[in-house]
Homo-oligomer: A and B are copies of this chain.
Amino acid sequence: MNQLRVGMIGYKFMGKAHSNAYRSLPMFFPNALKPEMKAICGRNASAVQEAADQLGWNESITDWRELIQREDIDLIDINAPSDAHKEIAIAAAKAGKHIFCEKPLALTLADAREMLQAAEDAGVRHMVGFNYRFSPAVRLAKKLVDSGRLGQIYHFRAWFLQDWIMDPQFPLVWRLQKEVAGSGSHGDLGAHLIDLAHYLVGDMQEVIGMSETFIKERPIASEMTGLSAKGSGDGPKGKVTVDDATLFLTRFENGALGSFEATRFAAGHRSTNAFEINGSLGSVKFDFERMNELEVYFTSDEEDVQGFRRVLATDPVHDYMEAWWPPGHTIGFEHTFIHEVLELSQAIAEGRQPVPSFEDGVKCQAVLEAVDKSIEERRWVSLSEM
C-alpha cells in the first residue's frame, strides 16, 4: 500500500513531463508513495508503444475505457487534448479512480463543474495540473503573502508571453482550434496566471477583457507532434478559431487590482510567465524564465539599503530544495511536475484532497469564461454571474 499505480492517457509534451515526474519521485522524495507506471494510453498503437518504451511505462494500450476499468490502477492521469478531458474524467471517477487532469480542466465551465461533481460523488481524489504553483520561488511568494510579510495586497499584475506562433506560416495545430483547445492563449497561458492569482491573492469579483487573433488564417497542418507541426505554406489554409492574445482587468474580493495578459505574439519571449505583487509592506516579482529566483522588497528594510532582493530559492529553507542540490544549484521546468506529483502522492497517502483540486480548476474556468463573456458583451462581468 505504499505504491500509487498509475494509468496515463496522453503521451506528448505533458505526457513526457508527467512520466518524468512519476519516475523521479522516489529518488528525490523517497518517503512519498512510489508511483508504479502501469500503462500509458493513446490512439495510435505503435506511437504509444514507442512512448511506453521511452518514458518507462510497463505497457501501452489504445482504449482509455479499458484502462480506467483496470483493477490494478489507482490513479488516472489525463493529459490528452483538452476536448477529451471531460468524458474521461467522469468515467474514471465512476470507476473509482483518483484523477490527475491537466489544465484547462475542460472546454467550458459547465463541463468543469460536471467533472468536479462526478469526482466528489465518487469520493475520489482529484487534482488539476497547475504546475507553476510548485516552483520553490512561487511557494516563497505564497509564504510571504500568507504570513502577512507583504501586508495588504494592492496590486497583482501578470503576463504570460510567448512567441512560438508568430510566423504566419506556422500551421493550424490543435491548440489553434477552438473545438479542441477551448481557447488559445487565454486558456493555455492565461489559465496559469489566473490560478496563480487565486493561489496568491484570492478570489476575483469582476473582470473585463479584450482579445485578438492577429493571424486569422494558417496552413492546415499535415502532421502534429507536441507543440509543433509540419505544414506547407502553399497548401490549403484554415481559420484560426482561438485568440492569439487576451488581456483583462480584475478587481479581487480583497480589494486588490489585477491586470493579466496572455499572448503568443510577444517577439523575444520564449515563455515569460511572470507576475508581480505589491502589498502595503512589500512586493515580490517572479519570472519563470528565471524560475529559481524571486525578487523581494520590504518597506521595513533600513532606509539606506532598500531595494528588491534577488533571492535564489535554492536554499534548504525553500520548499522542496533540501531534496535537490546544494544552494545555488538550480532546478528547471520539469521539477514543477515532480513537486506536483509529490503533493498528489502525499494527499492520497494522507487521505485528503490534493491542492490544486478540480475546485481550483472550476474556479479558473469560471474566470476564463467570465472574461470571454466580458469580451463578447463588452462589459464588466461579475464572477457571481457565473
Report Cα–Cα, A175/B317, bound state, in Å.
23
Partner of A270, one of B263, B280, B312: B312
A318 at the interface (CB under 8 A from B): yes
Which chain B residues border A269 with CB–CB below 8 Å?
Answer: 278, 283, 328
Is A304 within 8 A of B143, CB to CB? yes
Per-residue B-contact encoding for A242-257, CB less than 8 Å = 1, 0 else:
0001011101000101
For A214, give the chain B residue with the smallest CB separation: B154
Per-residue B-contact encoding for A228-248, CB less than 8 Å = 1, 0 else:
000000000000000001011
Chain A positions within 8 Å of B, measured between CB atoms, are 13, 16-17, 19-20, 23-24, 26-27, 30, 53-56, 140, 143-144, 154-155, 157, 159, 161-164, 166, 208-210, 212, 214, 226-227, 245, 247-249, 251, 255, 257, 259, 261, 263, 265-272, 276, 278-283, 288-293, 295-299, 301, 303-312, 314-315, 317-318, 324-335, 378-380
With both chains docked as a complex, state the minimum distance between the C-beta of A27 and any C-beta of chain B, in angstroms: 6
For A335, give the chain B residue with the smallest CB separation: B332
Is A267 within 8 A of B249, CB to CB? no
Report Cα–Cα, A335/B315, bound state, in Å.
19
Known A26-B54, A154-B214, A310-B310: A267·B280 in contact at CB below 8 Å: yes
Which chain B residues border A317 with CB–CB below 8 Å?
Answer: 303-304
Is A309 within 8 A of B312, CB to CB? no
Which chain B residues border A266 with CB–CB below 8 Å?
Answer: 154-155, 276, 278, 283
8 closest A-B pairs by CB: A271-B328, A270-B328, A268-B297, A307-B309, A307-B311, A332-B332, A329-B333, A331-B332
Is A327 within 8 A of B271, CB to CB? yes
Which chain B residues border A309 with CB–CB below 8 Å?
Answer: 301, 305-310
Is A318 within 8 A of B304, CB to CB? yes
Which chain B residues border A335 with CB–CB below 8 Å?
Answer: 332
Partner of A279, one of B161, B267, B327, B380: B267
Is A27 within 8 A of B23, CB to CB? yes
